Amino acid sequence: MNYNRRKFIKTTVKGSAALAVTSPFGFSEKNIGKVEVVNPQNRAPVSLIIDDSTTLVNLAYYGIPQFAEIFPENYKQDWRNLPREIPNSFVRKFGEWAIEKGVKGKYSIVPYPACTGWVSRFIPGWTENELKDSLKLVREIIVPNWDIHPEMVSHTRVIDIKTGRPFPQATPDFMENWEWSQKKSADELAAYQAYALNILKEAGLPCEGLTTPGGYGGQNQDNLALGTLQAVRDVYGAEIPHYFRDLFTEKGKSVAPQVKFPSDLDTDDPKCVVSILGCTGDWFGGWDGLTPGSADKHITADLQSGRLVDVIESGEPAIMVCHWPGIYFNGQEVGFNILKEVVLRLHQKYDNLIWMKLGEIARYWAAKELTDILVTGNSIKLKAPFASPDFTLKIEGNIKKPEIKNSSPLLRVSKVNDLKTNSFYVGKNETLLCFDLPKGVTELMI
């Protein structure tokens, strides 16, 4: 089996059905109809995952010859024609556009990109000030709209975490993209992932999750999840660690986030880890910046079809996937221009989108899946292990004056798209309530 996500082979998540958790929604035979947690603000979550990004280094230029050493028949492109750098000027241009348009998601910072140098210290070929400026740019322009993830350590050779040097064997068993991770224990994966996370921490970057390079952990999903839970909590103290490993492009295939390994939910230290799923292949510019893509696979020019349309109308988060070298596309910005067109079409078709970082999606789904809901008489009690902003309930029937006990009154809005925190909307057969859900018990009076 080929584990390489770069080729976007349709994959399956082993054991995910057994690990996903469903909240026990309550019903009342008397006064309150069905209660359901819906999307935040009753909107359609959208996001963008950017892989293979880092400071300065074009990972394709330095990574392809290392991949070719392992599988020469699969990597025949002339990598020397690619630019060695993706400059800070493009990072600024992209980041400012994302802020202007409200586009959010995940942006990788590979800690030791293709073994060139350490983003927290120095990268040969660039000056100390150039690296400092690149990190400053990420903190100021990227971090506001993007979660930062390590993509393991090098994205190429496995690093001996005792020495900080690549293992000498140039084989699939010692490449991050392939075999090395497939039989490691959760503790072994956690130690390796913590090594990557500590580099980003030393660089002064925030982090609540990680991204797997290629096929990393593809046949070792449970240990990958547990290792992520352990490593992210240990290094950053993140309450709800999350990770991106898999994507599914088939129509009708669920891409809802998977809340895994919940524990200690009745304590002051609840735990879980969330697997974020992408819904597209890289249809922008590819991981190597060689093959231009098209906006139409995401959403067609007539706005009637495409993978994003299918997912948005299913009610699940529509999370696109791309690679940074293809967004830059050798300075021609082909992938970037395709992304601009996709975003334009999305907003032409939909007026109910909500752009979210992966960490925001992970938090909402953890609250959605793990909050107990008890309906008694005219009361709805929520017992939440995790807090969540914009928590939104749909209640069957028309409710004139819902209230949160011991809190400010909810404001009634006349249009469903005006729904926001501390407001409610009364529809034809249901009422929507949106509020910031605190950790612990919340009581709604209906």
For residues 74-87, b (16+ Cβ closer than 10 Å) or e, as one string? ebeeebeebeebbe
CA-nearest of 355, 425, 413 to 145 is 355
pLDDT of 22 strictly over 80: no
pLDDT recorded at residue 284: 98
pLDDT tens-digit readout, 383-399? 999 999 999 999 999 98
Spatial distance between the Cα atoms of 144 and 326, rounded to a whole number of angstroms? 23
Spatial distance between the Cα atoms of 264 and 123, rounded to a whole number of angstroms? 42
pLDDT of 23 strictly over 60: no
pLDDT recorded at residue 17: 34
Pairing of the two strands 258-263 and 35-38: unpaired
Q: Half-sphere exposure of 347 toward its Cβ, with a 13 Å CA cutoff?
A: 10
- Enumerate the domain spans of the chain: 44-247+279-351, 369-445
The partner residues of 322 in beta bridges, in order of sequence, read 50
Provide the CA 80 distance to its chain's centre, in angstroms: 32
pLDDT band at 442 (very low <50, low <70, confident <90, very high): very high
What radius of gyration, in Å, describes the C-alpha atoms of the chain?
22
Residues 6+ apart with CB under 8 A from 148: 106, 107, 108, 109, 138, 142, 200, 205, 206, 207
Mean pLDDT check: name the lowest of 8-17, 231-240, 293-302, 429-438: 8-17
pLDDT of 16 strictly over 50: no
pLDDT recorded at residue 31: 57
pLDDT recorded at residue 21: 39
Which residue has 């082909």 as its token pair?
Answer: 334
pLDDT tens-digit readout, 70-96? 999 999 889 999 999 999 999 999 999
The partner residues of 7 in beta bridges, in order of sequence, read none
Higher pLDDT, 26 or 180: 180
What is the rounded average pLDDT of the residues 123-129?
Answer: 97
Whether pTM > 0.95 for this model: the answer is: no
pLDDT of 33 strictly over 70: yes
| Contact yes or no for 135/109 (Cβ under 8 A) | no
pLDDT of 9 strictly over 50: no
pLDDT tens-digit readout, 238-258? 999 999 999 999 999 999 999
CA-nearest of 401, 255, 395 to 314 is 255
**Which numeric CATH code is attached to 44-247+279-351?**
3.20.20.370
Please give the mean pLDDT across all residues of the chain: 93
pLDDT recorded at residue 223: 98
φ and ψ at residue 372, rounded to 5 degrees = -80, 140
Spatial distance between the Cα atoms of 58 and 285, rounded to a whole number of angstroms? 14
pLDDT tens-digit readout, 139-157? 999 999 999 999 999 999 9
CA-nearest of 106, 187, 91 to 140 is 91
pLDDT of 1 strictly over 80: no
pLDDT tens-digit readout, 197-214? 999 999 999 999 999 999
